[in-house]
């Protein structure tokens, strides 16, 4: 994974350094600007594993994970441009999503895995239960960036950016199940908060006076702190809990974006596709357990990503060329 990221970063750096050898074309607008970006965002690779099942009649076993659906996200930003001397901008992005699975595991044994192995009972076991599992994810970023245009081509502008990112990743999982004899509940919640320097590059390819293509690659190097709690119980009979509080995690967020842009004097609109890969900062401090019934392996989480189709509007005001 680290080798893949390193090679990707070096390849992008080489491309942009070669592109920066020709002549400049930069926006010389001076003044304020604001923008709003709306997106349909798909969370990927969350691997929210909540139970294992085994059907004793057919000898079939299954790992059960929550299916994550796309949801709405938005970004709001603004700043000031000094034209060819660059711009300073701030932005805030947020995503909030909850998914649910429920049903009856008829004729099957089920072991919930949200909590992991316990000290009182190593694992909870249900036969032919009715169950419900939920998974909720909330992620935010706050960026402060300075971007400066440098020599590119006659119809190309390359802007190098450097700044600071503050990010948080919050996740909650729950499980509740009931069979003829028992009722069990498990849950966990954790929040990872990180901050660190952000560097990147934006390339704008102009085709006409009004239309261009824009591409961005940015990398945020994060120092992360983690807080979380997990519990399992048989209501009215017993309960136990776990907690975590650490600051040893290191993270890398990689952002890639390609968009079509239309410019109209003080206004600009765009549509595009972007991916934000979160490594480290999405680490689950309470990984799901294996079980004595059903598959012994569990889904691993290395990185997660937020993939989005998005559209936006930018407004320039209070300035000119």
Q: Total structural domains in the chain?
A: 1
Tell me which residue range forms the domain holding 293.
2-320
> How many residues are present in the chain?
321
Per-residue confidence in pLDDT tens, the chain, 321 aa: 444 455 455 445 544 444 444 333 456 788 999 999 999 999 999 989 999 898 878 878 888 999 999 999 999 999 999 988 999 999 999 999 999 999 999 989 999 989 887 777 777 889 999 999 999 999 999 999 999 988 677 788 899 999 999 999 999 999 999 999 999 999 999 999 999 999 999 999 989 989 999 999 999 999 999 999 999 999 989 999 999 999 988 999 999 999 999 998 889 999 999 999 999 999 988 876 665 555 555 666 778 999 999 999 999 998 765
Q: HSE-up of 250 (CA within 13 Å, CB side)?
A: 3
- The pLDDT, as a whole number, for residue 320 is 62
Residue 190 CB-half CA count within 13 A: 24
Among candidate residues 218, 280, 217, 276, the one with its CA nearest the CA of residue 252: 280
Count of CB atoms situated within 10 Å of the CB of 211: 12
Q: What is the CATH number of the domain that holds 222?
A: 2.40.128
**DSSP codes of every residue in 240-274:** EEEEEEEEEEEEEEEEEEEEEEEEETTEEEEEEEE
pLDDT at residue 291 in the model: 58
Residue 124 · residue 232 · CB < 8 Å = yes
CA 125 to chain centre: 33
CA distances to 35, 37, 83, 90, 187 from 76, rounded to whole Å, are 6, 6, 21, 9, 33
CA distance linking residue 278 with residue 252, whole number of Å: 6
């Amino acid at each position: 994974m680290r080798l893949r990221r390193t090679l990707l970063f070096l390849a992008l750096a080489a491309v942009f350094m070669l592109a920066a050898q020709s002549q400049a074309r930069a926006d010389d607008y001076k003044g304020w600007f604001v923008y709003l970006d709306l997106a349909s965002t798909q969370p990927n690779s969350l691997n929210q594993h909540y139970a294992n099942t085994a059907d004793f009649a057919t000898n079939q076993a299954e790992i059960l994970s929550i299916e994550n659906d796309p949801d709405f996200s938005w970004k709001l930003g603004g700043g000031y441009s000094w034209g060819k001397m660059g711009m300073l901008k701030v932005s805030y992005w947020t995503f909030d999503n909850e998914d649910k699975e429920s049903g009856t595991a008829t004729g099957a044994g089920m072991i919930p895995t949200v909590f992991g192995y316990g000290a009182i009972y190593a694992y909870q076991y249900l036969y032919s239960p009715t169950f419900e599992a939920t998974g909720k994810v909330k992620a935010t970023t706050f960026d402060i960036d300075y971007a400066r245009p440098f020599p590119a081509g006659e119809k190309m502008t390359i802007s190098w950016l450097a700044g600071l990112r503050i990010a948080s990743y919050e996740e909650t999982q729950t499980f509740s199940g009931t069979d003829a004899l028992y009722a069990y509940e498990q849950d966990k919640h954790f929040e990872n908060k990180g901050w660190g320097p952000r560097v990147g590059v934006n390339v704008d390819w102009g085709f006409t006076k009004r239309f261009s293509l824009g591409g961005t690659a940015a990398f945020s190097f994060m120092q992360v702190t983690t807080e979380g709690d997990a519990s399992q119980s048989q209501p009215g009979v017993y309960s136990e809990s776990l907690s975590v509080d650490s600051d040893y995690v290191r993270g890398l967020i990689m952002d890639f974006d390609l968009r079509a842009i239309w410019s109209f004097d003080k206004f600009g609109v765009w549509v595009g596709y972007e991916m934000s890969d979160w490594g480290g900062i999405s680490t689950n401090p309470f990984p799901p357990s294996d079980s004595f019934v059903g598959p012994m392996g569990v889904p691993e989480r290395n990185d997660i990503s937020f993939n989005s189709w998005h559209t936006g509007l930018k407004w320039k005001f209070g300035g000119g060329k």
